[in-house]
Chain A
Amino acid sequence: MSNITETILTAPDLTHLQRLEAESIHIMREVAAEAERPVMLYSIGKDSAVMLHLAMKAFAPGKPPFPLLHVNTTWKFREMIDFRDRRVKELGLELLEWINKDGVQRGINPFDHGGAYTDIMKTESLKAALDHYQFDVAFGGARRDEEKSRAKERIFSFRNPGHRWDPKNQRPELWNLYNTRKNKGETIRVFPLSNWTELDIWQYIYKESIPIVPLYYAAQRPTVEYNGMTVMVDDDRMRIPEGQTPQTRSIRFRTLGCYPLTGAVESQANTLPEIIQEMLLTTTSERQGRAIDKDSAASMEKKKQEGYF
């Protein structure tokens, strides 16, 4: 028996990260082979970072055969936009940015318009972008461990012509065989990270040295208390509540979104192992940092039915 044969026969089982990686790559290649106009939704956060990294692997030494799409609400952290532009340039990829111009003109903002803001600048804007470019399949970075209604969602999740999700009418998904055939006007959201957990994501970022937005690391940043959260004053559009002046504190973010709606945590963690350590020792789940989920347990299910990712 040659050495290499012996190495193969005695190699340890694949690790959970290796198996998750293989599954995600398989899903992406299947979409590339069967979709007419696929696109990858790139939200700049850590899940998107992992998804993009996997896409680069899946098609190496070539480039992923689809563009990236960023739906910009115009209220993202400035560091996110800088990071996005730098990453796309480094990797030599095509990025499409979509802004709901009508919403901007109407002055829709996260301070005055609450739920309507998310609806108009995110949900409606995403639908308009997909319709405009006629994308038939869109990759998203959602994971099943994020909350309860996602746990039941398929990896290939069909949307009717109005982009609505019908949880009662999902196709069975067997083995690693995906039925990608669409009816007229239907589109598919594909979630290659479905079976990853938050810890898997961080562990993989660590193992593969994947670049992430610096906002995930603790640093001294100007903050105010807003809506029951610690919010970073990212630019002069922030409406500072009466009686407060911005306080510089050592904070970081567990998720990234629109800065006035994203709660920071006080932290000193400025290396990846420290972030992971903090995450494992902390007792608050990830989505609590986002204002969107607070209404009711069933709120995400409702939003998803309406077309929110």
Chain B
Amino acid sequence: MSDQNDLLSTDIEAYLHQHEQKSLLRFITCGSVDDGKSTLIGRLLYDSRMIFEDQLAALEADSRKMGTQGQNIDFALLVDGLAAEREQGITIDVAYRFFATEKRKFIVADTPGHEQYTRNMVTGASTADLAVILIDARRGVLTQTRRHSFLASLVGIRNIVLAINKMDLVDYSEDVFNSIIQEYKSFASGLSFESIVPIPMSALAGDNILTKSDQTPWYKGPTLMHHLEVVPTHDSDRSASFRMPVQWVNRPNLDFRGFSGLISAGSVKPGDRIRVMPSGRESHVSRVFLDGDMEFGIAGQSVTICLADEIDCSRGDVLTGIDDPIEVSDQFEVTLVWMNDAAMQPGRSYLLKLGAKTVTATVTALKHKVNVNTLEQTTAEHLELNEIGVCTLSLSQPVAFDSYEKNRETGGFILIDRFTNDTLAAGMIRSALRRAQNIHWQSIDIDRTARARQKNQKPFVLWFTGLSGSGKSTIANLVERKLFELGKHSTTLDGDNIRHQLNKDLGFSDADRVENVRRVAEVSRLMTDAGLIVLASFISPFRAERQMARELLPSGEFLEVFVDTPLGVAETRDPKGLYKKARAGQIENFTGISSPYEAPENPEIRIDTTSLSPEEAAGTIITELEKRGLLRID
């Protein structure tokens, strides 16, 4: 450090020039508080002069008050951020720290080590080039070491530092060090790391952190800091094929139309031929621009690209090179890391954000989940918080993608809950399903418009939702009679009947309810394709599934009819005696009693059965259909 300080005081301009050329390394530290992780980070910050005197004074005071190192500085206190964490002595989130040497700037993601924080570790690792995995030399390779290594490998980290810490407590024994390496390597050979660099150290005493330790004369490798300064970064292969997701169409005036984004792979220069995906349209690059024209752009840069032709391209499209075009599909096999308290249900639809594109996605199957400690694969019905599984996904439209292994930015996605808006999962695309690549739509001469025209009507779905006993089927029956009298062609799908036939394999668990509604929604769509008016009466208690049904149909053709009957009233009616049984505990998962009903927020039609008779309700619905132009009464 001292050469650097000399330069700082003698020739500041030279110093600044040197520092301007620094590269950036992002890494993650994995391990628990007991392994000395916070102490290690605290020391890296301290030794690279990132702690100022006033912070140091506060640290010394805190060390005496709360520290665990007697009169010595407790480096761990420097990095445990939130007040609650400091009191409990644990790290519960991802914190980002910064330090720099003369060669590099470093961003450290500091994440907690316990299994219940798997999601935090995955979050921290998603942007990291390298992982420092801490091992307590006295305890060797533990279950958590395996878990951290698996997660690092899963998220695509290729460089590992095995920080064998607390060497001072095993008398700096070379044998201990070697046996830990051996055990680790035999385990890690199944993971996809390019390099594993073991370093014997003591974070507390500072051995082999910045300077080589006198205590480990047998160790010939680099110090931690030296290795961090020279390890290659994720900063990409320039010869890779060009990829840039379009974030923003920049059109400030009629003379300029550019496509802005962050280049995720390869390079681009004026004259390059490119393709807009998924449409496949081709053009060539006329300008690469930021606040002025650039000779070229490379991965990691945010730029704006102008094309020679006026072709269609918008946010969510991907600009790619023509030599190695990106794949396009709407069905994938993916790995999901589930990050939410509400479990993942196959069949439910979520929002998927990949690059700048957001689409609807349904988990069609959960193939297996992976035990993060043993890597064992087991079958499962759901994924709970912090669980990892391999699933198949079906998207509402085809998207351009690479496998995650090939490109993190065009192969990594998040799932979002459409109602709570929470980020639910991190996803990594493994491959497109062959099915999607090979099955093409059979084009048909007589289409849905032609079929509807022949029947002189507009097809639509009236989706009656409400509690058991609310009057859905009664009202639907009356509406269909009126439609029949008007000469309309219709059909009824009734919850009870369908469960005797098409869906007789399904029960009443949350997962089965989701599948029940999915099938009914698909059947409804086929019926409307045939030109029919569909009356579907299903309790359909979950908003997510009703939304899924809505999205399967062209907009305006799905009308949600909320048959609004208070639970008390429905229970008094109890036409099938079901509430009584449910109250007696004879029926599990009964909506309203032991399973929730999520009332519609904005139904097209709401029927208050406490103030309308079934006849009046049917009349209201017919009037509403006329008003919406769905029903022409000649």
Interface pair B100/A199, CB less than 8 Å apart: yes
Does chain A have a CB within 8 A of B235?
A: yes
- Which of A23, A148, A199 is the one whose CB lies under 8 Å from B81? A148
Interface pair A284/B54, CB less than 8 Å apart: yes
- Which of A9, A277, A285 is the one whose CB lies under 8 Å from B9? A277
| Residues of chain A lying within 8 A (CB to CB) of residue B248 | 29, 32-33, 59
| Residues of chain A lying within 8 A (CB to CB) of residue B238 | 8-9, 11
Interface pair B12/A276, CB less than 8 Å apart: yes
**A-contacting 9-mer, from B15-23, B373-381, B388-396:** B15-23
The number of residue pairs between A and B whose CB atoms lie closer than 8 Å in the complex comes to 207
Interface pair B8/A280, CB less than 8 Å apart: yes
Does chain A have a CB within 8 A of B52?
A: yes
Interface pair B53/A152, CB less than 8 Å apart: no
Interface pair B421/A297, CB less than 8 Å apart: no
A29 CA / B261 CA spacing, docked (Å): 8
Nearest-Cβ distance from residue B401 to partner chain A, whole angstroms: 13
| Residues of chain B lying within 8 A (CB to CB) of residue A197 | 98, 100, 105
Interface pair B302/A171, CB less than 8 Å apart: no
Does chain A have a CB within 8 A of B218?
A: no
**A-contacting 9-mer, from B146-154, B175-183, B412-420, B590-598:** B412-420
Interface pair A203/B247, CB less than 8 Å apart: no
Does chain B have a CB within 8 A of A248?
A: no
Interface pair B300/A19, CB less than 8 Å apart: yes
| Residues of chain B lying within 8 A (CB to CB) of residue A170 | 93
A199 CA / B351 CA spacing, docked (Å): 39
Nearest-Cβ distance from residue B99 to partner chain A, whole angstroms: 9
Interface pair B233/A152, CB less than 8 Å apart: no
Does chain B have a CB within 8 A of A181?
A: yes
Does chain A have a CB within 8 A of B120?
A: yes
CB-contacts of A1-56 with B (<8 A): 4, 7-9, 11-23, 25-26, 29-30, 32-33, 56
Q: How many residues of B contact A (CB 8 A)?
A: 86
Does chain B have a CB within 8 A of A149?
A: yes
A301 touching B82 in the complex, CB below 8 Å, given contacts A16-B23, A195-B98: yes
Does chain A have a CB within 8 A of B256?
A: yes
A170 CA / B9 CA spacing, docked (Å): 43
Interface residues on A, range: 35 or more
Interface pair A288/B300, CB less than 8 Å apart: no
Residue of A nearest to B84 (CB): A168
- Which of A4, A16, A144 is the one whose CB lies under 8 Å from B295? A4
Interface pair B412/A175, CB less than 8 Å apart: yes
CB-contacts of A251-301 with B (<8 A): 273-274, 276-277, 280-285, 288, 297-298, 301
| Residues of chain B lying within 8 A (CB to CB) of residue A61 | 250, 252, 256, 289
Does chain B have a CB within 8 A of A91?
A: no
CB-contacts of A167-181 with B (<8 A): 167-168, 170-177, 179, 181
Sample of 30 A–B contacts (CB below 8 Å): A11-B298, A13-B23, A15-B22, A16-B105, A19-B24, A19-B300, A26-B302, A57-B291, A60-B291, A60-B304, A62-B256, A144-B98, A148-B79, A152-B81, A152-B82, A167-B93, A172-B123, A174-B423, A175-B127, A176-B409, A177-B353, A177-B412, A181-B421, A195-B96, A197-B105, A274-B12, A281-B9, A283-B52, A284-B54, A285-B53
Given A14-B23, A281-B8, A285-B52; 15 other pairs, CB 8 A cutoff: A8-B238, A13-B23, A13-B235, A15-B22, A17-B20, A29-B248, A61-B289, A145-B98, A148-B82, A151-B79, A151-B97, A179-B414, A197-B100, A203-B20, A297-B86
